[in-house]
Amino acid sequence: MDRRWIQNPNRCADEYLDGIEDFIEFARRHNPGATRIRCPCRRCNNTLWETIENVGFHLVRNGMIETYSIWNLHGEQLEHASSSNATRVDNVQPIVDANDQVMDIIQDVFPFASTNMNQEEQDDVPTPIDSAEFEQYEKLLKNANQELYPGCESFSVLTAIVELMHGKIKYRMSNLCFDYFLGVFKRMLSTDNCLPKDHKQAQKVLNGLGLGYEKIHACENNCMLFYKEHESLDTCPICNESRFKMTSQNRTTKIPQKVMRYLPLKPRLQRLYMSTHTATDMRWHQEKRVDDDVMRHPADGEAWKEFDRTFPEFAADPRNIRLGLATDGFNPYGVLNQHHSTWPIFVFPYNLPPWKCMKKEYMMMTVLITEDPGRSIDVYLRPLVDELKDLWTNGVRTYDKSTRKMFTLRAAVMWTVNDFPAYAMVSGWSTKGYMACPVCKEDVTPGWHAGKVCYLGHRRWLPWDHEWREKDKEFDGNTERRLRPREWSGDEILDQLNRLDFAPFYTYELDAQAYVF
């Protein structure tokens, strides 16, 4: 059986899909009655068991292990395999040891930790890390090499913490539940084990991996953030509300009225190129995408191509990142607190191939607003907008592990993705009332009917000689002679914003950039 289809990079090709059907049929024939088989996709790596239907889906989404041409884990006998088209069994990708995976993570975080600290910076040479980062690297390396207990070879301290924290996140375990089981495991092991006693200590060990977050205080009335030029203030300069809650005089620490958690975007985008698992995939949209006029990815769309024509300097480097931004509010407490609203703001890179770019593993939460922002979500977006503007204008020096060279990474917001109510909060244009249409703006045709605002005049979009334009009795009693409303450019929207007298709306600026792109 010819198995060259495994090497086919186009997983939508008929040859590849037929090959998957042959494999599924082969697996069914050699595992009669079985509902689950090993999944040979690149992610499962023949270590996870999936239903036969899911295996077929995984092979389309992730691709099959390229060296798995002898299906010995699915019933094929080695002596029956054809030597002309089969690869040796010892070339099959081995199961990666957990300790090796942890060391790979450390190398991804500090790809040039061994660089000479006195080395002069060159364009192709990474900038040496400072002493504080090197100290973090040494701590992680020490925990990665330290045995969990004397004589334990399968788990180091760092490996055990990473595995446990991964399970906590994957199965949505609370901190209290995690502390309980961590205590149980610690008592099960020998008394001289090095397992941390609770979640807080485990987090301290992992802090060296980076990707933390910042706490930014906010005004109780959502007027402003105590950020940058207002960071040292104790009262809001707009409403004179106190920054902190009233507490007893014996308390040494102050409790802020509101706190926003901001997760910096730059280190997360840099990590995509510092990791061996994603550095090559970040150029997929240009180097591996099949351009055959079929819409499979945003790069196949006209908006992406128009952006490339408008900003050729940005498009010249395929490593520059195109981003999408999405947000929506939800109530995590259900009926227990009907007035609460939590607003996470996500950013996702469109450079990745379609089977990765919309997966939760690559969706980056940048802002977490834990209380209802009301109509002032623009206030909470300011740190993100500042960082996006800097990424567009100046970029950030990043190490590309696939090429082992430094480059200046830039990023642009291509789209914002929201439902209509959230669109009103993010863009600043109200989606209620007589001017609710963000396309027509003030040229909308509203009316009042049956106690509601209705929007008429849709015949304006019809061709000039369409027969419905002449029909008056069937519609509102008037013939339609008006042209369709003109489209507003992002520059015109910004110009309208600049003519306003009140505090600046950062949401308008962000939405206008996305509108232009």
Q: What backbone torsions phi and psi does residue 329 show, to the nearest 5 degrees?
A: -95, 150
Give per-residue burial for 278-303: e unless 16+ CB within 10 Å, then b.
Answer: bbebbbbbeeeeeeeeeeebbbbeee
Q: What is the pLDDT of residue 113?
A: 62
Answer whether 46's CB lies under 8 Å from 65's CB: yes
Q: What are the tens digits of pLDDT across the range 311-359?
A: 999 999 999 999 999 999 888 877 666 778 899 999 999 999 998 888 8
Number of residues that make up the chain:
517
**3-state DSSP helix/strand/coil % of the chain, to nearest 5:** 40, 15, 45
Q: What are the tens digits of pLDDT across the range 206-233?
A: 888 877 889 999 999 999 999 999 999 9
Which of the 8 DSSP states describes residue 399? E
User: Position of tokens 């960071």?
Assistant: 231
Residue 291 falls in which region: left (phi positive, over 0), alpha (psi -120 to 50) or beta: beta
Q: What are the tens digits of pLDDT across the range 403-448?
A: 888 899 999 999 999 888 888 888 777 888 888 888 888 888 888 8
381-406 mean pLDDT:
92
Q: pTM for the complete prediction? A: 0.70
Question: How many CA atoms does the CB half-sphere of 203 hold within 13 Å?
Answer: 11
Report d(CA 79, CA 340) in Å as an integer: 65
Give per-residue burial for 244-262: e unless 16+ CB within 10 Å, then b.
Answer: eeeeeeeeeeeebbbebeb
Q: How confident is the model at residue 60 (pLDDT cuts 50, 70, 90)?
A: confident
Which of 96-110, 197-211, 284-298 is predicted least confidently? 96-110
Sign of the CA dihedral with 381 first, then 382, 386, and 392 last: positive
The residues, any chain, with a CB within 8 Å of residue 391's CB and separated by 6 or more, are 265, 266, 269, 409, 410, 411, 412
Question: In percent, how much of the chain has pLDDT > 90?
Answer: 32
Q: What are the tens digits of pLDDT across the range 146-181?
A: 899 998 888 899 999 999 998 998 888 999 999 999
Report d(CA 74, CA 58) in Å as an integer: 16
Give per-residue burial for 489-514: e unless 16+ CB within 10 Å, then b.
Answer: ebeebbeebeeeeeeebbbbbbbbbb
Burial class of residue 195, CB neighbours in 10 A (0-12, 13-18, 19+): buried
Q: How confident is the model at residue 264 (pLDDT cuts 50, 70, 90)?
A: very high
Answer whether 265's CB lies under 8 Å from 387's CB: yes
33-37 mean pLDDT:
83
Segments of 256-410 assigned E as strands: 258-262, 321-327, 343-349, 364-369, 396-400, 405-409
Question: Average pLDDT of the chain?
Answer: 83
Q: What is the pLDDT of residue 348?
A: 93
Q: What are the tens digits of pLDDT across the range 120-140?
A: 444 455 555 567 777 878 888
